[in-house]
Amino acid sequence: MGIITPDNRNLEYCGRIDFTDACRPLFIWAGSYVRMRFTGTSVSVRLQNTHDLWSNRMGYVLDGIEGEILLFDGEKDSSGMLRDNEGVWMDEERDYLIADDLDPDQAHELLLFKRQDSCHYVSFLGFDVEDGDIRERAQESDNRLKIEVYGDSVSNGEVSEVVGYEGKADPENHNARYNNVRHSYAWKLADRLDARLQDVSQGGIALLDNTGYFHPSGLVGVLSTWDKLKYNPRPEMPEQSTWDFERFTPDIVIVAIGQNDNAQGDYMAEDYNGGKADNWRSNYYSLIKNIRGRYPAAHIIMITTVLIHDKAWDDSITAVYERLKGEGDDRVHRFLFTGNGAVTPGHIRDSEAEVMAAELEEYICEEVLNQSM
C-alpha cells in the first residue's frame, strides 16, 4: 500500500495528542500512542522531533516485542549534527525502520508510543508498509475501561528500564536513556485491567508552582498543567494550550502527587499544622474538586508511591480524602501500597512497578469496580 497517513480511520489513538493538523498529530504527554493492525513485508514510521532536554526515544511494540527508536542520543541529531543536550531545536523529518522481512501472510499489530515526558515533543507523519495494507480497526477497543493518571516521574516510568538498581538511587549520568512509560505501574495497571490509559504525568512536577523540579526554565506545578494539552513552559517550545476534556472521559482517575513537593524544604514533615502545610492541603483539595468537576461519575483514587518520602504527606492526603468523603463524595478512594514511601530512594524499576500494579489492580477490582461504574 505504501504510506498510511495519520488521518487513516483505522488507526487507534490514545493520550493528550494535538490533532490541530490531522496529518501531523503532535505527541506531547508520555504514554500517548497510535496503534494499527496491518499486513506487509516491512514497516517504518516518519517522525519529526522537537528536543528540549536529555536524550529522546520513542517506543514501539510489534507483535508483542518491544523496541525503541533513538531520536537524539544526547550529542548528535538524526543527521549527525552536534546539538545542545539542553536546548530547544526541531529535527528534520526522518523515516525510521521498525522491521523488515515480515511474513506477508500474517496480520501484525504495531503500537507506537511516546516513552518520555515533555523533554521532547514528536510529530507523527505516518507509517510506510511494503506489500501490504492496514487492517480494519476493532471498534470495541473504544469501549474498554478508561484510566487517567495525574502524576510525576514514577507514573511515567522515569529510569524504569535500568537493571540491577532496585531499591537503589539512580545511576549517574543516565541522560533519560532508561525512561519508559511502558515500564511504569500506570501502564502495567492498564494492561492488567485491559484498559485504555491516558497518562498526564510529568517528571519532577509538584502540586504548586515554584515548587518541585519541573521545569528548569521556571517551576510549574500540577495546578497549572492538569488541564493542558501543550504544557512545557519554555518560551521556545510550542505555546501552551488547553486540553479538550470531551475527547476522553475516564472511568477511573488516579492522582499520584506529593513526592516532589518537598524539593524546596520538607515543610510537611517539619510543621504539619503550619501555614505552608495547610496551603498545600487546601490546593490539593482544589485539584481533586477540579477533576471531579470534569468527571462527575469517575472514581478518583488518591495515592503516593513506594519512592521514599515522609509519612506526613500521606497523612495530608488522607485528611483531604476524609474531608471529601465527609462532604458526600462516595467515589473518592484512598490507597496505600505495601511499603508506601519506604521502598527505594531512587525511581521505581520495572519489577517494583509490577508489584505496585498488582496491588493496585487488586484494590480496584475489590473496592472500585464492584461499585457501579
Express the helix, strand and coil content of the chain in percent, nearest 5 each: 25, 25, 50
Regarding whether 359 and 331 lie in a shared domain, the answer is: yes
pLDDT recorded at residue 371? 74
Q: What confidence score (pLDDT) does residue 224 get?
A: 98
| Confidence band, pLDDT 50/70/90 cuts, at residue 77 | confident
Measured distance CA(124)–CA(26) in Å, rounded: 6
User: Both 216 and 306 in a single domain?
Assistant: yes
Residues 10 and 105 in one domain: yes
Tell me, yes or no, whether 327 and 304 share the same domain: yes
Say whether pLDDT at 373 is over 60. no
Residue pair 308/345 in contact (Cβ under 8 Å)? The answer is yes
CATH code for position 233: 3.40.50.1110
Q: Which residues form the domain of 26?
A: 2-141
Same domain for 359 and 221, yes or no, is yes
User: What pLDDT is attached to residue 109?
Assistant: 97
Q: Exposure pattern of 347-358 as b/e (b: 16+ CB <10 Å)?
A: bbbbebbbbbbe
Question: CA–CA separation, 59 vs 115, rounded Å?
Answer: 6
**Statement: residue 362 has pLDDT above 60:** yes
Let me know whether 17 and 107 are in one domain.
yes
pLDDT at 56: 97
As a whole-number percent, the residues of the chain with pLDDT over 90 amount to: 94
136 and 225 in a single domain? The answer is no
- Read off the pLDDT band of 45 (50, 70, 90): very high
In a domain, 253, yes or no: yes
The pLDDT tens digits for 159-206 are 999 999 999 999 999 999 999 999 999 999 999 999 999 999 999 999
Q: Is the pLDDT of residue 372 over 70?
A: no
Domain assignment of residue 373, yes or no: no
- pLDDT number for residue 141: 65
Q: Which of 113, 141, 169 lies at the terminal end of a domain, its last residue? A: 141
Q: 131-140, 239-248, 309-318: which has the minimum mean pLDDT?
A: 131-140
Q: What does residue 347 show for φ and ψ, rounded to 5 degrees?
A: -65, 165
Find the Cα–Cα–Cα–Cα dihedral 279, 215, 156, 169, rounded to 10°.
Answer: -90
Mean pLDDT of 209-236: 97
Do 33 and 156 lie in a common domain? no
- Indicate whether 317 belongs to any domain: yes
Supply 73's cell numbers.
542520543
Q: Is 82 contained in some domain? A: yes
| Domain containing residue 99: CATH number | 2.60.120.260
| pLDDT, mean of residues 22-35 | 98
Pairing verdict, β 26-27 and 120-130: antiparallel
| Within-domain flag for 13 | yes
**Does residue 11 form part of some domain?**
yes
Percent of the chain with pLDDT over 70: 99
Instruction: Tell me how far CA of residue 34 lies from CA of 27, 113, 142, 282, in angstroms.
Output: 10, 7, 13, 38
Q: What are phi and psi of 351, to 5 degrees?
A: -65, -35
- Whether residue 337 contacts residue 371, with contact meaning beta carbons closer than 8 Å, is answered with no
Q: Which are the contacts of 169, defined by CB distance < 8 A and separation ≥ 6?
A: 345, 346
Give the pLDDT of residue 79: 82
Helix axes 275-294, 311-326, angle to 10 degrees: 50
Residue 242 lies in a domain: yes
**Is residue 305 within a helix (H) or strand (E), and if so which, with residue range?**
none
Q: Which of 107, 124, 141 is the last residue of a domain?
A: 141
Query: How many domains does the chain contain in total?
Result: 2
Q: Are residues 21 and 65 in the same domain?
A: yes
Q: Phi first, then psi: give them for residue 268, nearest 5 degrees.
A: -65, -40
Same domain, 39 and 158: no
Q: Residue 100 and residue 325: Cα distance in Å, rounded?
A: 55
261 and 364 housed in the same domain:
yes
Supply the mean pLDDT for the chain: 96
Distance separating alpha carbons of residues 282 and 205, to the nearest angstrom: 18
- CA dihedral 343→344→349→351, nearest 10 degrees, is -30
Q: What is the mean pLDDT of residues 87-109?
A: 96
pLDDT bucket at 100, cuts 50 / 70 / 90: very high
Split at pLDDT 50, 70, 90, the class of 80 is confident
Reported as a single tens digit per residue, the pLDDT across 128-140 is: 999 999 999 877 6
Among 141, 175, 207, the domain-final residue is: 141
Least confident of 80-84, 90-94, 155-159: 80-84
77 is a domain residue: yes
**Residue 157 and residue 120 in one domain:** no
